Structure 1
């Protein structure tokens, strides 16, 4: 029988031993209840970072996180349920047009989203730029909105009783240098997604300079681990590895990205945002058993826009309200002519964060109107003296730090780069 006390569990993993399901269940349950102290769980998390968890341990850890709270029951909804998760990137506003688009095609989309973390933007922060829109939706309202045939999609914050162990452990890992464990990252994401109750899940795993997973091998390992966890839990799961060396679209910020998303829903928008939105929509519809539906039709005929407006209104927002505008702007200009060959996503994300679009600590307010607009992307021709970036903020003292972040963030040369948007696909659901 494995010992059930915190020190025994910590030392077992420290010494490279496998933890039993019983040990994992106990330590996660007791940590959630307060019976295992923060410093003890921090020591265990560090041991896991250094020693790792195998597939069985990772699955057991994920189950224990799910069992720390309630599971949502979506079985009574009038259609197939499918969700999407992105591991975070710069200019990644894909959820905003994607959720209403997939709902317009007949699926039901319960999208539990988060806030910005470091240089990456948060979906909830973006939507809160819309007047009146609320991120907190209780369980009864969530089911009511999802069951409404005119809506069928919700983008909201996870309830406090959904995988509460993850909420507590995530905050601890963030301040103890124990974020970098693929098993802990995968279990954090998948515990919430499995507890949410969707039948199918599509994962957008970013890889590149602007992603948390900078190497292809790490991104592939994370994607494979999450697909295995979802599949083992009975959720039809597929992952796409998508490039994040270059930021998506032409904007990073909150209101700026909402405006760009509305352009996509109106039938326009940046080509890369449209391409990734449609690619993920097709994966979600296949997973939901609706592969005969072409989401491009719903963009063209206005059905996706109708769902967007209904979704915003269902959560208290006014889709016709003017989006916030920054009080101050500054333009950076090109000093040479040629083809843009590189635009560093991380640098752009840090610039947007420094302008006020992100937060320096949990709970801090963000500026709805702050951010960066870039006027050229890799492959575009630029002319000396033409605008490259427009910086937006309410506080002009932030411009200098944002300029410093962008220093050296782009190259201008002769040969356009070849950067595929979708790098690889991992999962059992056929296209």
Structure 2
């Protein structure tokens, strides 16, 4: 009998390591131990941000103060990416030395039992973290070569001359930036109108302008009814619009929770495994964290969730995790967008401080004239939310996220003297406007 069995070797390993260090008997079940570390490490945030880092350098070299421009060697970059992943995966494996690693697909048919390869393992607590997979809409004939998903895009050995990207969410926007920065003709198709619709209208407008600046053809209200490969081309049929012919189609229409682990009616599922605020499912002592609970499909959220669950198993008096304090961001180029806390749809009665980054010298040499920082505060001047559009916005929003988590008011937060010239100077000004 184990104290805890963790199913899924993504960010679940963070909880397993914590529990093992506290002396608990722990097992971690992973379908393929070569993929220990999960989608984030092998196919998601880490390799994609590496590619975007080098894409940013290539984009900056196109400035007319340089003679010529850099051309990305995609084969060398993919090799470098693979070495990074291999090194990080070895590090994760080394940290799991006190955990029993079980390879195979874990199935829950009865409470406190996990079946793997016809063998049953028992535990007092079971933490499910089986992640998610790309969702491919009906009518799109996926072939992993010309019609691809985020699973394949980071392993391309050469860049296409043109690409259509279906879906203007985080992955679609980031990949559009990557390809456009490297001279690929990009069409970004969105089922609905606009982008980042939960963002402040100033950010929505600036991001649309950024797409145009990057040479990305943004096609709103384009619903794909069928996509097939024909004569070395992808033929895309659209609802009430003319067909599109392109070299490659990248499908970025969201991700679906991996739920094959659940084979008992005791655990309720919908879009994901349903849980309470403590990530406990409808079956007591069985928890779901990360993408499979369909709350926030972000690696850092998954890590925070599994650590919170593990802490509660260890101590039981740990408060629920406030998911509104999770920083969300999209790493587009040349500016990324980040948010934390309250959103514009939930700001009635709040004070709003807005500072445009073109007021600061740093914007002149960072392609950030359309950048903006927006901070929300309550009636007592406590910071309750923020949105930032800036180069590396996920870094710039960090002190605001810390102020929110630390329940700081604007008078305390504004005491820091920021460096000049820097985008951090905007923090001083925005706090004074609240």
Query: Do the structures match in fold with TM over 0.5?
Result: no
Larger radius of gyration: 2
Q: Please, what TM-score do these two structures have when normalized by structure 1?
A: 0.29
Counting helix residues as a fraction of each chain, which structure ranks higher?
1
Q: Please, what TM-score do these two structures have when normalized by structure 2?
A: 0.29
Larger relative contact order, structure 1 or 2 (CA cutoff 8 Å, min sep 6): 1
